Amino acid sequence: MLFSHGWPLNADSWEYQMNYLSSRGYRTIAFDRRGFGRSSQPWNGYDYDTFADDIAQLIEHLDLQDVTLVGFSMGGGDVSRYIARHGSSRVSRLVLLGAVTPIFGQVNGFEKGVPLDVFSGIRAGLLKDRAQFIADFGPMFYGSNQGQVVSDGVFAQTLNNALLASFKGTVDCVTAFSETDFREDMAKIDVPTLVIHGSGDQVVPLETTGKYAAELIKGATLKVYEGAPHGFTVTHADQLNEDLLAFVNS
């Protein structure tokens, strides 16, 4: 299983899923997207074609076959664009978790998307005080502002992981995940697909992303976690781990 992380995190955000699945006999691999975590921090290349090509190089380098691709949030775009751009000969399944696919912002006539001025505000907040902006983002990300119980340690880990990222990459990725249209990519997905989304997601709205993606991907299964926030890989880790194991075993 190959895991693509969300913004502005890194591969460490998958530790609960990787430990659970590896303990049950599966090989699990997570990578730091270019500009994030321990990857290099180039000035350019923060677009989904490049992200998909990076994944292709990794898969070819490790000679991975029969891969289940798992993408969370902006990482859902990475893995979807990989299939659309490089095909599914090495892929057996796809999982999209709280993903920005098929379209996040109000672009290309998609009026139901999030207004682009929201993302302009995010970029402005990052440029003014990245650390505080990300710290303030945590309660909405994990739903603690709506009753989810999240430890101080989780918030500290999230901030620490986020601040390992390139400043330039963190800002540029806001444009990438808000303005990239994946609707054509959805039509090219030809492997069994599981879409999981939280109904309480305050970051990536269920109705215009997860639900819409499941409609566009042929034969996709949609699971909605009632009341779950965007960061359900942490808040609903046990439920997610069981669903991932059941899916790869199916």
Which whole-number Å values give the CA distances from 154 to 72, 109, 159, 165, in the listed order? 17, 38, 9, 18
Residue type, 188: K
Cα 150 to chain center, whole Å? 20
Q: Do residues 190 and 218 touch, judged by C-beta distance below 8 A? A: yes
Name the residues annotated as catalytic.
Answer: 73, 201, 230
Q: Which residue has the tokens 């057996």?
A: 92
Please give the radius of gyration of the chain, using alpha carbons only, rounded to the nearest integer.
17
Q: Which residue has the tokens 């009341």?
A: 227
- DSSP code, position 9: -
